[in-house]
Amino acid sequence: MELTDRELVQQCQAGEMSAFQELVSRYHQKVYMVIFGLLRNREDALEVAQETFFRAYRKISGFQGGSSFYTWIYRIAVNLAIDAQRRQKRNPLDFRESMDGLLESQGEAARDPFADFHDKELREKLTSAINDLTPEHKAVIVLRTIEGLSYKDIGEILGCSEGTVMSRLHYARKKLQDKLSAFL
């Protein structure tokens, strides 16, 4: 039977490295997605994701279980990503190249050339529109997208109220829709 996150955390606290490995295996892609959603740069996102788990490992002995493991790890990830973004002085070209690589790799499964072109353009516009959001607005929309987290969980991760989450989501979606009106 698969162990719950709480059981794995308890094993980690008892010094079981394999339990921590299992937690990393469960969450590494989701944590990476959150960070990539905020930073839009693969190398930076990977670096920050690894740092997130490193910080989690060091702090896990103090994790009381008052919140779920995933809200705790996402909180570390978002804080590190926002911190990294403030210091990030990357050339936008880095991001464009990164996204071009991603879009090309998806182009193999092309069915309808027109639909693919439209999709590719939409994805490009979407990523560019997300770039224009503030870190706080990016964070809510990415957290909501990745795991369908509730407003309560998102509020817990970001340290704000459910009402704030709701208004930030509404604002972010409106901004994105305005910029993508020709594609949606």
Q: What residues make contact with another protein under the rule CB under 8 A?
A: 21, 24-25, 28-30, 32-33, 36-37, 42, 46, 49-51, 53-55, 57, 83, 86-90, 102, 105-106, 119, 122-123, 126-127, 130, 141-142, 144-146, 148, 150-151, 166, 169-170, 173, 176-177, 180, 184
Q: How far is the CB of 33 from another protein (least distance, A)?
A: 5
Q: Answer for the pair 94, 131: CB distance below 8 angstroms, yes or no.
A: no
Burial of 7-25, coded b for 16+ CB within 10 Å and e otherwise, reads ebbbbbeeeeeebbebbbe
Nearer to another protein, 65 or 101 (CB): 101
Q: How far is the CB of 7 from another protein (least distance, A)?
A: 20
Q: How far is the CB of 130 from another protein (least distance, A)?
A: 8
Nearer to another protein, 5 or 94 (CB): 94
145: left (phi over 0), alpha (psi -120 to 50) or beta: alpha
CA–CA separation, 29 vs 115, rounded Å?
28
67: left (phi over 0), alpha (psi -120 to 50) or beta: beta
Q: How far is the CB of 47 from another protein (least distance, A)?
A: 9
